[in-house]
Chain A
Amino acid sequence: MLKFVIKRLFVMLLTAFALTFIVFWLTNLPPNLEKLAKSEAGTRISDAEVGTWLSENGYDSSPLNRYGQWLGLLPGWTGTAQNGTPTGRCLEKDADPATAPRFCGLLQGDWGQSSVFKLPVSQVIGRSLSLTGWLMFAVMAVMVPTALFLGVLSGMREGSRTDRLLSAFSIASTATPEYVSGVVFIALLASPMSGLSPFLSGAGWIEGRTLFMGTATSAMEDINFWNFALPVMTIALYGIGYIARMTRASMTEVMTAQYIRTARLKGVGFRQVVVRHALRNALIAPFTVIMLQFPWLLNGVVIVETLYNYKGFGWTLVQAAGNNDIELLLGCSVVAVVLVLITQLISDIGYVFLNPRIRLS
């Protein structure tokens, strides 16, 4: 078990290095740097001036070298500005060059400065992650129990009417990406012109003009049901179908197993068989699926936060990518990649832990 975990950790570390390097390289392509130089030093500067700006700000070394600096494994660049003052990656403005640290990168906790928000990247990401954390938590709290319940219910008696109905629902929900369900939800429930809201407000049953709020901006301050339900439902809907189908497949397989038949023949009640005997084994496979659902949730978060204007992690990522904010985009990527890798690790270890057949062999 320990050997397995160590091996997985090693592969994970290697993956993290490879992925962050790819992201670093792609965000630091020459045209991106040129754009950065133009946005920082003025749009009308000549090509030669772009070159000077880049070399003065330490962008003239090789990508691998800069990647090392950014990670904090190589010493930060140093140089002198045109007026003779020493500059450097690790040098604060007007600070004494002698006291500046040699290394300042990700590993030292220095994530750089966001050019869009004019704030340290770690601060921007920290703030947005806490907002997204609430969203993720609510999504998980809605999605996982619903999906497992639906999956167990339809897998319990394969081929029954309940099964067919719920399977149809699952298929429909996996066919509805977030940007479709979001649009449909807003048109149905949060538009003063169409859907339910005109009827409800016309009849005087709701106070405002719409039943739900079409944006989640107010949820950043104060989460309540009316501003948070739609974003949560939008993300959860896509995942529910998928997890429910996996649970159903696993449940039907377990329900045809010999030991279930034995239990039934011994005279144990159906309810008892499902709850006591089948459920435990049936929930092993969905566990992995739920864990591997995280990377996809990240996608959903980006779409939903853009659609509902909720300024969390996904929204920040879109802003960073759209505005060529290299340091912030790198920071977001690191968080995303680490999140994905950790969930993969948990799902691997959890699977082995939950399934004695694999653990013993």
Chain B
Amino acid sequence: MEPLSWGQILLAALQQFLPVWVALIVTFALSIRYKRKLALYGKLFDSPVGMIGFAIVMFWVFTAFFADWIITMDPLAQFSGSKNAVPGSALTAPDPDAYTHFLLGADHVARDVFSRMVMGAREVLKIAPAATLFAFMVGITLGLPAGYVGGKLDTVISFIANLVLAFPVILLFYLLVTPEIIVIGIPTYMAAILFLFPIFFIGILINSRYFTNPPQRNLYLGIAMAICVWAYIGLAFNADPLGVWGMSPNLLNVFVSVVFVNSPGVFRIVRGMVMDIKTRDYVAAGQTRGEGAWYIMLWEILPNARGPLIVDFCLRIGYTTILLGTLGFFGLGVSPESPDWGSTINYGRKLLAMVPHPALAPALALMSLVLGLNLLADGLREESLKD
């Protein structure tokens, strides 16, 4: 069979991504149609930078979602005789029912680079947003009281946060993401502590809102706490009796380390903003009305800090993606089979000068995702500053 030219590769790749294009067009059409009713999200479509960023991010989100349809071959399958095949080359023994070409070539053990890159998006987008969200809940739960109450509480928490921030990230990863650490059980202990913060956050959030109406409060709080405790047992201890929630020890180790590294940064931002916002008149009004401290923090201050927090959230997902790539690049906490971008770059770099494509594809994919997130954050910042 003939190898494909670059034009044909491009066409074939565009065709493979068909579900993504459809989903993107539908998303954009609906969003632009109803943008006046969609608050900050709708305003995003007034900013070209934000729209480009959003398109890139959603491209990868949909790619992760439809990955099973997009891939041309099994990302773990090895095709003998096609080691380091160049982009567009045909399989040596094509199966008539399956795809016949390596769109982006094959890697050092003859696996399809294109399919691995697509599957890698799923690996990254499974962890990065969730880890960032957890880091935000930890950072907010600690940052609100530290900024609002101040004093000794602030001194102690800030000291701990600065301690973590003073650690060079790579050193921390080399110490925290190792098989020995999993044997000792440190990730589980860290998860047991770190995952308490989201539960605490959600509990306080509901309680402070509805405590004037106990039956309603008890209902909401009961439901939320039941779900949280269920997820907690599953995620932190991998002991969910129903088997819905769960993380492998390796994944938990990576996840916890990334949350741990990210939380102090969020804490610092939240603390700084709370210290600024708590001097405003509406906070003083709330205090005079006799509102509780947690109500003021969560329902008066936090909503008014949402603009910068949303922007930082986007930037931080990008940063988390970079961190995950770094972990993969040093071969920490991932199985050698895993198609995630960092470890694919790591394996590709050994033959980089001779066979650049296996490392180049995931590298550019990672860069475009982070770039999309940065542009999205920029667009959001611009739009949220307008009002």
B378 at the A interface (CB under 8 A): yes
A269: CB under 8 A from chain B? Answer: no
Q: Are A187 and B345 in contact (CB under 8 A)?
A: no
How distant is A278 from chain B, measured CB to nearest CB, in Å? 22
Contacts of B170 in A (CB 8 A): 298-299, 302-303, 314, 317
Please, how many angstroms separate the alpha-carbon atoms of A210 and B352 in the complex?
A: 13
Bound-state Cα–Cα, A192 to B354, Å: 7
- Determine if A18 is an interface residue (Cβ-Cβ < 8 Å): yes
- Distance (Å) between the CB of A235 and the closest chain B CB? 13
- Name the one of B162, B330, B359 contacting A306, with C-beta atoms under 8 angstroms: B330
Q: Are B176 and A26 in contact (CB under 8 A)?
A: yes
How many whole Å from B353's CB to the nearest CB in chain A? 5
Q: Which residues of B contact A214 (CB under 8 A)?
A: 352-353
Whether a CB of chain B sits under 8 angstroms from the CB of A333 is yes
Residues of A within 8 A of B355 (CB): 193
Q: Does A177 contact B (CB under 8 A)?
A: yes
Is the beta-carbon distance between A15 and B360 smaller than 8 angstroms? Answer: no
Further 17 A-B residue pairs, CB within 8 A, beyond A26-B176, A179-B349: A172-B371, A175-B318, A175-B367, A176-B370, A179-B325, A179-B342, A180-B367, A186-B352, A190-B353, A193-B353, A193-B356, A295-B169, A298-B170, A303-B170, A317-B171, A337-B168, A341-B166
* Main secondary structure on B side of the interface with A: helix
A336–B360 alpha-carbon span in the complex (Å): 31
Which one of B171, B325, B349 contacts A307 once the chains associate, using CB atoms below 8 Å? Answer: B349
Specify the chain A residue showing the minimal Cβ separation from B167. Answer: A19
Q: Of residues 119 to 169 in B, which have CB atoms within 8 Å of A's CB atoms?
A: 159, 162-163, 166-169
Q: Once bound together, how far apart are the Cα atoms of A11 and B180, in whole Å?
A: 32
A179 lies within 8 A of B363 (CB): yes
CB-nearest residue of chain A relative to B354?
A193
* CA–CA, A317 and B373, complex, Å: 31
Tell me the B residues contacting A by CB distance below 8 Å. 159, 162-163, 166-171, 174-176, 180-181, 183-184, 318, 322, 325-326, 329-330, 342, 345, 348-349, 352-356, 359-360, 363-364, 366-367, 370-371, 373-375, 378
**With A177-B326, A194-B356, A214-B353: A183-B166 Cβ-Cβ less than 8 Å:** no
Give the contact-size bracket for chain A.
35 or more
**Docked-complex contact B349 and A183, CB < 8 angstroms:** yes
Complex-state Cα separation, A333 to B364, whole angstroms: 32
**Residue of A at shortest CB range from B321?**
A177
Shortest Cβ distance from residue B322 to the other chain A in the assembled complex, whole angstroms: 5
From A28-36, A49-57, A141-149, the one touching the partner chain is A28-36
0 or 1 for each of A5-47: is its CB under 8 Å from B? (1 = yes): 0000001001100110001001101111001000000000000
**When the two chains form their complex, are residues A32 and B367 in contact, meaning their CB atoms are under 8 A apart?**
no
Interface positions of A (Cβ within 8 A of B)? 11, 14-15, 18-19, 23, 26-27, 29-32, 35, 171-172, 174-177, 179-180, 183-184, 186-187, 190-195, 210, 214, 295, 298-299, 302-303, 306-307, 314, 317-318, 321, 329, 332-333, 336-337, 340-341, 344
Chain A residue with minimal CB distance to B360?
Answer: A187
Which B residues touch A176, using CB under 8 A?
Answer: 367, 370-371
A265: min CB distance to chain B, Å: 27
Rounded to whole angstroms, the CA-CA distance of A295 and B261 in the bound complex is 14
Which residues in A have their C-beta under 8 angstroms from that of B371? 171-172, 175-176
User: Inside 8 A of A179's CB, which chain B residues have their CB?
Assistant: 325-326, 329, 342, 345, 349, 363
Q: How far is the CB of A249 from chain B (nearest CB, A)?
A: 11
Assess the B353–A183 pair: CB atoms within 8 A. Answer: no
A19-B349 in contact (CB<8A): no
* Min CB gap A32→B, angstroms: 5
B354 A19 Cβ-Cβ under 8 A: no
B residues within 8 A CB of A35?
A: 180
B318:A171 contact, CB within 8 angstroms = no
Task: A233 to B363: give the CA distance in the assembly, Å.
Answer: 17
Q: A18-B163, A30-B184, A193-B353 given as contacts; is B175 within 8 A of A184 (CB)?
A: no
Chain A residues touching B, majority SS: helix
Among A18, A30, A193, A329, max chain B CB count under 10 A is at A193
Q: Given the complex of chains A and B, what is the CA–CA distance between A214 and B352 in angstroms?
A: 9
Q: In angstroms, how far is the closest chain B Cβ from the Cβ of A303?
A: 7
A-B contact pairs, 8 of them (CB 8 A): A30-B184, A171-B374, A175-B367, A175-B373, A177-B370, A180-B345, A183-B363, A337-B168
A29–B167 touching, CB < 8 Å = no
Task: Give every chain B residue within 8 A of A318 (Cβ-Cβ).
Answer: 174, 330
- On whether the beta carbons of A183 and B359 are closer than 8 Å, the reply is yes
What chain A residues lie within 8 Å of B378 (beta carbons)? 171
Cα–Cα distance between A35 and B360 once the two chains are bound (Å)? 36
For residue A284, give the distance in angstroms from its CB to the closest CB of chain B.
18
Q: For B366, what are the chain A residues with a Cβ–Cβ distance below 8 Å? A: 177, 180
- CB-CB under 8 A from B183, the residues of chain A are 31
Q: Are B364 and A15 in contact (CB under 8 A)?
A: no
With both beta carbons as reference points, the residue of chain A lying nearest to B162 in the complex is identified as A15
Residues of B close to A193: CB separation below 8 A = 353-356
With both beta carbons as reference points, the residue of chain B lying nearest to A324 in the complex is identified as B180
Within the complex, which residue of B175, B342, B352 is in contact with A187, where a contact is CB–CB below 8 Å? Answer: B352
Query: When chains A and B are docked, how far (Å) is the Cα of A245 from the Cα of B348?
Result: 32
In angstroms, how far is the closest chain A Cβ from the Cβ of B217?
Answer: 41
Q: Which residues of A contact B375 (CB under 8 A)?
A: 171
- Closest chain A residue to B182, Cβ basis: A31
B377 CB to closest chain A CB (Å) equals 9
CB distance from A233 to the nearest CB of B (A): 16
| Chain B nearest Cβ from A348, distance in angstroms | 11
Contacts of A15 in B (CB 8 A): 159, 162-163, 166
- A180 to B356: give the CA distance in the assembly, Å: 12
Contacts of B162 in A (CB 8 A): 15
What is the bound-complex CA distance between A23 and B168, given in angstroms? 12
CA distance A238 to B216 in the complex (A): 51
Top 4 A-B residue pairs of the complex, sorted by shortest distance between their CB atoms: A187-B356, A175-B371, A31-B180, A321-B174
Residues in B neighbouring A177, C-beta threshold 8 A: 322, 325-326, 366-367, 370
- Which chain A residue shows the least CB distance to B323? A177
Which residues from chain B contact A295 at a C-beta distance below 8 Å? Answer: 166, 168-169
Chain A CB count within 10 A is highest, among B169, B318, B329, for B329
* Structural contact, A340 and B168, CB atoms closer than 8 A: yes
Question: In the complex, which residues of chain B have a beta carbon less than 8 angstroms from the beta carbon of A302?
Answer: 168, 170
Name the CB-closest residue of A to B348: A183
Residues of A within 8 A of B159 (CB): 11, 14-15
- Say yes or no: A32 contacts B356, CB within 8 Å: no
